Amino acid sequence: MERIVLAYSGGLDTSVAVKWLADRYDAEIVAATIDLGQGKELDDVRERALAVGAVRAHVVDAREEFAQEYILPALQAGAIYEGRYPLATALGRPLIAKKLVEIAAMEDAGMIAHGCTGKGNDQVRMDVSARALNPDLKVVAPARVWGMTRPEEIAYAREHGIPVPASVDSPYSTDSNLWGKSIECGVLEDPWQEPPEDIYTLTKSPAGAPDAPAYVEVEFERGIPTRVNGVTMPLTELINSLETIAGAHGVGRIDMVENRLVGIKSREIYEAPAATVLHVAHRELEALVIPRDLERLKAGLSRTYADLVYDGLWFSPTRDAIDAFVANVQQHVTGTVRLKLSKGDCRVVGRRSPASLYDTALATYDEGDKFDHEAAEGFIEIWGLPVANAASKRRQAAGAGAPEPAGPSAT
Ligand code: ARG
């Protein structure tokens, strides 16, 4: 008998998928739920999987691995898709795929399955990651195959005695983990419509946030955030506590139209309070400790990194290579950034570092200035040489060919 390991969320799609896969492939279905910090959704997920017909149900706590090996490298790389999306969902998919592949090996299964549809990025990330880890495994995405609409799925569930989860009442499709939440569908599909307030669960409305700002000091050691307001915390806890503080001040709401890999433009809402604070802080600290040319070089790689995460190429030689570059840069990224959170705004108001390249004696306009002002003249002479040269050659050429153009003062 065939055995299939299914990524099980507990929602309608994957609940229906248990029965559908078992029938279609005459297979045993092993459910696997990966905890990436999605919270409440996981309550009694094991019981639900077994209730809908899974022969076994694994629940894997992968929060620590997610934080250390996925979130942290992406933070250090400055990976933000199209300048706005910190990639919570996109970073979670390769880890889910990795766990499915591991469980498939344990369970001696030849196939893995997931609930992604045929229109999104997530299917690409799951399938490509699985192929990168074990090209011999077959991957099936029932929702890409069965062609059922939502009401048809509900009818299918009723017909087969599958308990319909309460989440079917929500018009939205959401995905949550430690790094943030993604929200799609319903009225959000109209890019002109303002998102209704009730879609937000991690962030307060900026207008309703406290009048008094919060100051947060984030400390990094070699690129790793280790302390918030002087308190040392493991990374998962640090992310959770920043989520609480920043969320309470309305920080981290993102409303954008993005380019999916599959060619569709889509309107997306994200809540990423912790990711917003950490990216702002980390970028600011790098600005203090790395030289200009390296900053420019890294900025280009940040974009490449964000694209490859988004595009499902997490397990790739390109990412490995950029990670090595980024790790080298992080050696100097030690210090503290002070941020002010107020009514949806997250602003850096202070930064300091033992590795700071900032030199007051060079920067000051006051007493103690060590900058050589006279040397600037020689520098400018040579720096401006190419443009001065080009201008004078053009003028000569214009003068030699045509008659002098009549200027305003010509008589
Ligand atoms: N557009 C985002 C991405 O591609 C979010 C996807 C959200 N997925 C979901 N099943 N709701 O990363």
180-224 pLDDT tens trace: 999 999 999 999 999 999 999 999 999 999 999 999 999 999 999
pLDDT in tens, the chain (411 residues): 899 999 999 999 999 999 999 999 999 999 999 999 998 778 899 999 999 999 999 999 999 999 999 999 999 999 999 999 999 999 999 999 999 999 999 999 999 999 999 999 999 999 999 999 999 999 999 999 999 999 999 999 999 999 988 778 889 999 999 999 999 999 999 999 999 999 999 999 999 999 999 999 999 999 999 999 999 999 999 999 999 999 999 999 999 999 999 999 999 999 999 999 999 999 999 999 999 999 999 999 999 999 999 999 999 999 999 999 999 999 999 999 999 999 999 999 999 999 999 999 999 999 999 999 999 999 999 999 999 999 999 999 998 865 655 666 544
Annotation marks residue 13 as catalytic? yes
176-360 fold: Argininosuccinate synthetase, chain A, domain 2 (3.90.1260)
User: Distance from the CA of 122 to the center of ligand 1, in angstroms?
Assistant: 7
Strands 56-61 and 27-35: parallel
**3-state DSSP call for residue 181?**
strand
The whole-angstrom separation of Cα 139 and Cα 238 is: 35
Within 8 A by CB and 6+ apart from 399, the residues are none
Annotation marks residue 176 as catalytic? no
Tell me the residue type at 323.
Answer: D
Segment 119-142, tens digit of pLDDT: 999 999 999 999 999 999 999 999
Please give the number of the atom of ligand 1 that sits closest to the Cα of 183: 11
Give the E-state strand segments of 206-355 in sequence order.
214-221, 224-228, 231-232, 253-259, 265-271, 335-342, 345-352
Pocket-forming residues, ligand 1, beta carbon under 6 Å: 89-90, 121-122, 173-175, 182, 184, 268
5 φ, ψ to 5°?
-95, 120
Q: Is residue 249 a contact partner of residue 214, using CB atoms and an 8 Å limit?
A: yes
- Residue of 361, 364, 340 lying closest to 350 (CA atoms): 340
Annotation marks residue 61 as catalytic? no
Neighbouring CB atoms inside 10 A of 352's CB total 13
The domain ranges of the chain are: 2-172, 176-360
Please give the number of the atom of ligand 1 that sits closest to the Cα of 258: 1
User: Would the pTM of this model clear 0.75, i.e. be above it?
Assistant: yes
Q: String of b and e for 226-258 (b: at least 16 CB within 10 Å)?
A: bebeeeeeebbebbbbbbebbbbbbbbbbeeeb
Q: Evaluate whether the domain defined by 2-172 bears CATH number 3.40.50.620.
A: yes
The whole-angstrom separation of Cα 291 and Cα 73 is: 21
Annotation marks residue 9 as catalytic? no
Specify the pLDDT at position 403: 61
The count of C-alpha atoms lying within 13 angstroms of the C-alpha of 69, restricted to the half-sphere facing its C-beta, is 15
